């Protein structure tokens, strides 16, 4: 069943951006689901019922993926965003003479 959880997540993340952030999200989600799955099996739930319960617990995975979109350490920050960040930093910090 653990392999089945991994396959489910690989399918769910198939069209997501190939970034470090998405890989980290998928691996964290996988670890959490395996932990929940094992807990349910230890509590006496059948393997099939435990699998179905943890998959249902994810909710809308597309929404989760969309919330994690954005630049990652592997992707350069767009120039316009870099300028905006610099401006915000300049405004937030007092000038020292």
Q: Of the candidates 26, 12, 16, which has an alpha carbon nearest to the alpha carbon of residue 66?
A: 16
In a domain? residue 20: yes
Measured over the CA atoms of residue 13, residue 19, residue 20 and residue 21, the dihedral's sign is negative
The total number of structural domains in the chain stands at 1
In a domain? residue 88: yes
In a domain? residue 14: yes
**Residue-range definition of the domain harbouring residue 22:** 2-92
- Alpha-carbon distance 65 to 62, whole Å? 5
Encode pLDDT of 67-81 as tens digits: 777 655 555 555 655
Q: How many CA atoms lie within 13 A of 91 on its CB side?
A: 6
Confidence of residue 97 (pLDDT cuts 50, 70, 90): very low
In a domain? residue 97: no
In a domain? residue 8: yes
In a domain? residue 30: yes
Q: 96 near 43, Cβ under 8 Å?
A: no
In a domain? residue 60: yes
In a domain? residue 43: yes
Encode pLDDT of 12-61 as tens digits: 999 888 888 889 889 999 999 999 999 999 999 999 999 999 999 888 88
């Amino acid at each position: 069943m653990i392999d089945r959880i991994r396959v489910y997540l690989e399918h769910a993340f198939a069209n997501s951006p190939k970034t470090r952030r998405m890989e980290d999200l998928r691996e964290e989600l996988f670890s959490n689901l395996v932990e929940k799955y094992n807990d349910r099996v230890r509590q006496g739930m059948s393997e099939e019922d435990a699998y179905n319960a943890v998959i249902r617990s994810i909710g809308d995975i597309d929404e989760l993926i969309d919330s994690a979109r954005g630049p990652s350490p592997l992707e350069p920050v767009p120039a316009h965003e870099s300028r905006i960040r610099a401006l915000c930093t300049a405004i937030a910090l007092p000038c020292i003479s």
